[in-house]
A and B are shown apart, each in its own frame.
Chain A
Amino acid sequence: MATLAFLVLAALLVGSALAVVLHPNPVKSAMALVVTLFLLAVVFVLLEAHMIAALQIIVYAGAIMVLFLFVIMLLNLGDEEQRARPRRRVVVHGVAWAAGALLAVVLVRLVAGAPLGRPAPAPEGYGSAALVARSLFTDYVLPFELAGLLLLVAVIGPVVLAKRGR
């Protein structure tokens, strides 16, 4: 049952991920990315990581992608195929293919190196908010707080830059 659910999900996930890359219209491409992120959250649910799934939707699908969409709409980008100049397209596509191939090689090596067989069953309370929070606030408290500080800088920075001209 879970395997079947995963296979259907994986097929949808790959389809929507391909749509992100291949769709010529930026808005639809962004919406395909939203679908991809949402489906990825469902994969997390299948892995019993409810907390991560919820955060995935709140942070990526709900917040970051809305801003993406906002920017695309405000810039009013047309279809990509009509805009890009031919020579530049060759360069861009070449770089993209090279980066993609590199990533694919790394991924294949990673998966091939992973131990096969059934993993041990998840411990009690695995993926619950309490467990994730405990490890965040004990073992990883310094990186966690530093990441928060970094985000604060990223929030204040644009405000300072925008106000400088006035």
Chain B
Amino acid sequence: MWVDVGIAAAKAFAVVMLVLNMSLVLLWVERKGSALIQDRIGANRANVFGGLLPFNLGIINTLIADPIKLLTKEDLIPAGADRVLHFVAPFLAVFPVIVTFAAIPFGDVLVIGGRTIELQAAALDVGVLYVLAMSSLAVYGVVLGGWATNSRWSLLGAVRGSAQMISYEIALGLGLVAAIMTFGTLDLQEIARAQGAHLWGVVPLWGILYQPVAFLILLIAGFAESKRVPFDLPEGESELVAGYFTEYSGMKQAAFMLSDFAEVVVVAGLATTLFFGAWQVPFLARDGWHLPGGVFVAMPHLAVVALQIAAFTIKVFALCCFQILVRWTLPRYRYDHLMDLGWKWLLPIALANVVVTAVVVVLVA
């Protein structure tokens, strides 16, 4: 029994670490990437070992110096603030985002010592609904963070943020409905397993081949949920200082930032699971490589599992990088354009996608 508890704890720990570390690495990718895009040198000032090293260690700033700075900064609470809600809001922003990842499988099964371990923190048969439920709770951090500080910038940011997140959640949900209909299950691990086949024995049959529209909807709604450019109106630093977390400092402000980056990771994880074959490596099955032309190369079980986890991580990271690329390419939307896009374009397209998918599913079956 204790072994089972230990395994569950280890899986939960692995998932939390995956999200947190990925978020932190993304922070560095964002700094370096934005510099690349804007043709300048970014985040390279770190005088370690007196400059004796032949290469610069700018990454140290982001990964070590920045967190230390944030942890040791004074934690300000504005005079008019509601102390309890001001304290709770950052936690409410981070918690739902990180627990969302529990339902996302990061590998197939690990058979070790006679035990078969599903590489998924929580094997839920309503996985997709769980993801939607948790992402719908993420609004509270924004709303309370903006309201509790009793500042006008914050309140405006909170109102914008909650309206935006609720609006895009509907399109997101309908987009996912089409994907669910294609796979015929809500279980994310089963969806991952269903993507192991190959078209004509060569092209991996991943979800994006069935549902390219649903993928685009998920991606666009994901940008809105993570409140980053082009949909960063809740923060809008040129209008609202920093929006809903204007009045936060130190680690609490970092928690809000972390929740944004973790949301990027979660959107990437969900998109990978539904549309890019999750942990599937092309031609790799549980026993080894089934290459086209009937060639079979056996592979030890642990190596297969390691490859699958690596493939999942790489896919998620690639999608995260794509989101950062978009963030530094597009300008901010105007607020009415944002609402138009959500309600007048994404929602009807998602609905039409659901209807078309339903017809095709019935015809094929």
A and B: real partners? yes
Interface set of A (CB-CB < 8 Å, partner B): 27-28, 31, 34, 38, 41, 50-51, 54-55, 57-58, 61-63, 66, 69-70, 73-74, 128-129
Q: Sorted from nearest, which 3 A-B pairs have the closest CB atoms?
A: A62-B136, A54-B129, A57-B133
Interchain CB contact under 8 A, B133 and A27: no
Chain B, residues 18-43, CB within 8 Å of chain A (1/0): the string is 00000000000000000000000000
- Taking the closest CB of chain B, its distance from the CB of A28, in whole angstroms, is 7
Contact of A70 among B82, B129, B134, B143 (CB under 8 A): B143
- B144 on interface, CB distance cutoff 8 Å: yes
Q: Complex formed: what's the CA distance from A128 to B169 in Å?
A: 23
User: How would residues 135 to 153 of chain B score, 1 for a CB under 8 Å from any chain A CB and 0 otherwise?
Assistant: 0110110011001000000
Interface size bracket, B side: 20 to 34
Q: Is the CB of B162 within 8 A of A50?
A: no
0 or 1 for each of B235-262: is its CB under 8 Å from A? (1 = yes):
0000000000000000000000000000
**Residues of B with C-beta under 8 A to A34:** 140
Mark interface residues in B77-93 (1 if CB within 8 Å of A CB, else 0). Answer: 00000101100000000
Tell me how far the C-beta of A23 lies from the nearest C-beta in chain B, rounded to whole angstroms: 11
Contact A58 B133 (CB under 8 A): yes
Known: A54-B133, A129-B129. 18 other contacts (CB 8 A): A31-B140, A31-B144, A54-B129, A54-B130, A58-B132, A58-B136, A61-B136, A61-B137, A62-B136, A62-B137, A66-B140, A69-B140, A69-B143, A70-B159, A74-B159, A128-B125, A128-B126, A129-B125
Q: List 6 A-B contacts (CB under 8 A).
A: A27-B82, A27-B147, A50-B126, A62-B137, A66-B139, A70-B162
Q: For the complex, give the distance between the alpha carbons of A34 and B140 in Å.
A: 10
Q: Does B166 contact A (CB under 8 A)?
A: yes
Query: Which A-chain residue is minimally distant from B165 (CB atoms)?
Result: A66
B126 near A62 with CB under 8 A, answer: no
CB-nearest residue of chain A relative to B125?
Answer: A128
